Amino acid sequence: MSQLVVQKYGGSSLADADRIRHVARRIARERAAGADLCVVVSAMGDTTDHLLDLAARITDEPDPREMDLLLATGEHMSGTLVAMALQAIGVPAISLTGAQAGIRTDSTHGRARIANVDPIRVRDEIAAGKVVIVAGFQGATDESHRTGEVTTLGRGGSDTTAVALAARLQADRCEIYTDVEGIFTTDPRVVPEARLIPVIGYEEMLELAHQGAQVMQTRAVELGWVNGVVIAVRSTFSDHPGTLIQEADPMEIRDKVRGLALDRKVAKVTLVGVPDRPGIARAVFDPLAEAGVNIDLIVQNVGHAGATDLSFTVPDVDLAKARRLLDPIVRELGFADMTTDSAVAKVSVIGAGIGNTPGYAARMFGALADAGVNIEMISTSEIRITCIIAEDQVEDAARALHAAFRLEEPETTDSGARLAS
Ligand code: ASP
Ligand code: MG
Q: Is the CB of 254 under 6 A from ligand 1?
A: no
Atom of ligand 1 nearest to the CA of 155: 9
Give strand ranges (E) for 64-147.
93-96, 103-105, 114-117, 131-135, 138-141
Q: For the chain, list residues with pLDDT below 70.
A: 144-145, 250-255, 412-421
Rounded to the nearest angstrom, the distance between the alpha carbon of 110 and the centre of ligand 1 is 12
Sheet containing strand 199-201, strands side by side:
93-96, 131-135, 36-41, 4-9, 173-178, 231-235, 243-246, 199-201
> Considering every ligand atom, which ligand is closest to the CA of 155?
1
- The predicted pLDDT at position 301 comes to 79
- The predicted pLDDT at position 154 comes to 95
Q: Distance of alpha carbon 192 from its chain centroid, rounded?
A: 22
> Considering every ligand atom, which ligand is closest to the CA of 46?
1
Buried residues in 359-377 as b, exposed as e (16+ CB within 10 A)? ebbebbeebbeebebeebb
- The predicted pLDDT at position 306 comes to 84
Rounded to the nearest angstrom, the distance between the alpha carbon of 110 and the centre of ligand 2 is 16
Please name each of the domains of the chain with its CATH number. 4-179 (3.40.1160.10), 259-420 (3.30.2130.10)
Q: Is the CB of 178 under 6 A from ligand 1?
A: no
Rounded to the nearest angstrom, the distance between the alpha carbon of 138 and the centre of ligand 1 is 10
- The predicted pLDDT at position 414 comes to 45
- The predicted pLDDT at position 2 comes to 87
Atom of ligand 1 nearest to the CA of 75: 1
Rounded to the nearest angstrom, the distance between the alpha carbon of 167 and the centre of ligand 1 is 20
- The predicted pLDDT at position 416 comes to 42
- The predicted pLDDT at position 212 comes to 78
Task: Please provide the distance, in angstroms rounded to a whole number, between the alpha carbons at the two ends of the chain.
Answer: 51
Alpha carbon separation from 132 to 121, 166, 241 (Å, rounded) = 9, 13, 23
Residue nearest to atom 6 of ligand 1 (CA): 156
Reduced to 3 states (helix: H, G, I; strand: E, B; else coil), residue 373 is coil
DSSP class of 82: H
Sheet containing strand 103-105, strands side by side:
114-117, 103-105, 138-141, 150-152
Atom of ligand 1 nearest to the CA of 10: 7
Rounded to the nearest angstrom, the distance between the alpha carbon of 310 and the centre of ligand 2 is 36
Residue nearest to atom 5 of ligand 1 (CA): 156
- The predicted pLDDT at position 417 comes to 40
- The predicted pLDDT at position 210 comes to 84
Alpha helices in 33-63, H assignment, sequence order: 47-58
- Contact status, residue 326 vs residue 295, Cβ threshold 8 Å: no
**Following DSSP, what letter does each residue of 194-261 receive, concatenated?**
--B-SEEEHHHHHHHHHTT--SS-HHHHHHHHHHT--EEEEETTS----EEEES--HHHHTT---EEE
For ligand 1, mutation pick of 48, 151, 163, 178 (most atoms within 8 Å of CB): 48
> Considering every ligand atom, which ligand is closest to the CA of 176?
2
Please give the model's pTM, rounded to 2 decimal places. 0.88
- The predicted pLDDT at position 419 comes to 43
> Considering every ligand atom, which ligand is closest to the CA of 51?
1
- Contact status, residue 329 vs residue 283, Cβ threshold 8 Å: yes
For ligand 1, mutation pick of 44, 47, 78, 155 (most atoms within 8 Å of CB): 155
Query: Which run of H or of E encompasses 66?
Result: helix 64-88
Q: Are strands 173-178 and 4-9 parallel, antiparallel or unpaired?
A: parallel
Q: Is the CB of 138 under 6 A from ligand 1?
A: no
Q: Is the CB of 211 under 6 A from ligand 1?
A: no
> Considering every ligand atom, which ligand is closest to the CA of 214?
2
Q: Are strands 243-246 and 138-141 parallel, antiparallel or unpaired?
A: unpaired
Atom of ligand 1 nearest to the CA of 49: 4
The 3 state secondary structure assigned to 171-184 is: CCEEEEEECCCCCE
Rounded to the nearest angstrom, the distance between the alpha carbon of 11 and the centre of ligand 1 is 7
Reduced to 3 states (helix: H, G, I; strand: E, B; else coil), residue 310 is strand
The residues, ordered by sequence, that sit 6+ positions from 241 with a Cβ below 8 Å of its Cβ are 198, 232, 234
